[in-house]
Amino acid sequence: MSSIEQTIPTSQSALQWVRVSDKNPFEWTTSAPVIDPSKLDDNQVLIENHAVALNPIDYKMAATNFANIKLPAVTGFDVSGRIVAVGKNVKDFKVGDEVFGVLSLNSSYGGGALQQYSVGDVDTLIHKPANISHIDAATLGIAFSSAMDGLRQVNIDSSTSIFIPGGSGGVGHFSVQIAQIRGAKQIITSVSKDEGFKILKEQYKIKDIINHATDNIVDRVLELTQGQGVDIAYDTTYLPSNYEKTIKTVKEGGSWIVLRRFGQDNTKEINSVTERKAKFILADIGRYWLGSERTQIKTFFQNTLIQGAKWIEEGKLKPYINQVIKLEEAQYALEKIKQGTGGFGKIVIKLL
């Protein structure tokens, strides 16, 4: 049994995931089913989405089906909205509450953000502060949590130098800001587009920006650190072709953080890091659902989301939203993200 206080439609608009494929995995529909609220699991809630943020995992899930989801389903993970029904054991949320967070990576729904109503597990949601918009709140899902997961595992203070390749991406632009908030002495990042240089310089006041398309990043990081290398490199690119280079930017005793390739080990990278007498740190948030850290899921996500919201309220964290689009435009936007032309920071869908 669940608690419901408003009329919930039985069908909805959605970008449905209809085939496991790299090409055209999605189809637009206005008649996707909305779950019967009485079928919610005990710790689930039904959310009427106000805003949904896009991530590369939305199309990657569709291409690989790494979580073995039965189709048709709906991908997408970052939501902000209002609760319209709750499962019978839900104590911390009630119908009408405004919430935001991340949908489950291993639910039978395939995530489920790219539609009007999504099923969320209470462990990875928090109440949305009234003075934060749904659009800003939606950005704090996968990308901010990944940035926090990597950086919470290292010490950062006024003597720390850090290299964050991919500073124009969702994860990268949050990582750069977290390093700033925590008082890093030197923050070096990399981008390839003029827009990225401009925004990082002018809006985020980052001085040391490398062009990863034209510069030798190892040489440039060494130059910028007087030949020392950095204390921490957080490779937010998820590109194995990049790993060997970014490992070489870390000084002896430093840390190399990586958004691990899903489902594969990193033996080669671990060996390279060990050879440099540095520390290997994984920031693969998939492990909270599918790995050994399942018991930490609630603590990690709720603390992370609370912190992100607080920093936004304090004006310390500024999600960069390069486009606000309609749900109908999600497929086109995901294609752009896939092509590397999604623009700086985040793309957010506004539903209400």
Closer of 29 and 280 to ligand NAP (Cβ): 280
Closer of 2 and 175 to ligand NAP (Cβ): 175
Q: State the nearest-atom distance from the C-beta of 149 to ligand NAP, in Å.
A: 8
Q: State the nearest-atom distance from the C-beta of 168 to ligand NAP, in Å.
A: 4
Q: State the nearest-atom distance from the C-beta of 260 to ligand NAP, in Å.
A: 6
Quote the CA–CA distance of 220 and 186 in Å, as a whole number. Answer: 14
Closer of 109 and 243 to ligand NAP (Cβ): 243
State which residue has the least CB distance to ligand NAP.
Answer: 169
Q: Which residues bind ligand NAP (CB under 6 A)?
A: 55-57, 60, 142-143, 146, 165-166, 168-172, 190-193, 196, 212, 236-239, 242, 259-260, 262, 284-286, 337, 340, 342
| Cβ atoms 86, 7 nearer than 8 A | no
In this structure, what are the phi and psi dihedrals at residue 211, rounded to the nearest 5 degrees? -90, 110
CA distances from 11 to 36, 198, 350, 351 (A): 10, 44, 19, 15
Q: State the nearest-atom distance from the C-beta of 196 to ligand NAP, in Å.
A: 4
Closer of 194 and 252 to ligand NAP (Cβ): 194
In one-letter notation, the amino acid at residue 140 is L
Closer of 93 and 344 to ligand NAP (Cβ): 344
Q: State the nearest-atom distance from the C-beta of 105 to ligand NAP, in Å.
A: 9
Closer of 165 and 229 to ligand NAP (Cβ): 165
Q: State the nearest-atom distance from the C-beta of 71 to ligand NAP, in Å.
A: 21
Closer of 28 and 262 to ligand NAP (Cβ): 262
Q: State the nearest-atom distance from the C-beta of 100 to ligand NAP, in Å.
A: 17
Closer of 141 and 229 to ligand NAP (Cβ): 141
Intra-chain end-to-end CA distance of the chain, in Å: 28
Q: State the nearest-atom distance from the C-beta of 213 to ligand NAP, in Å.
A: 7
Beta-bridge partner residues of 333: none
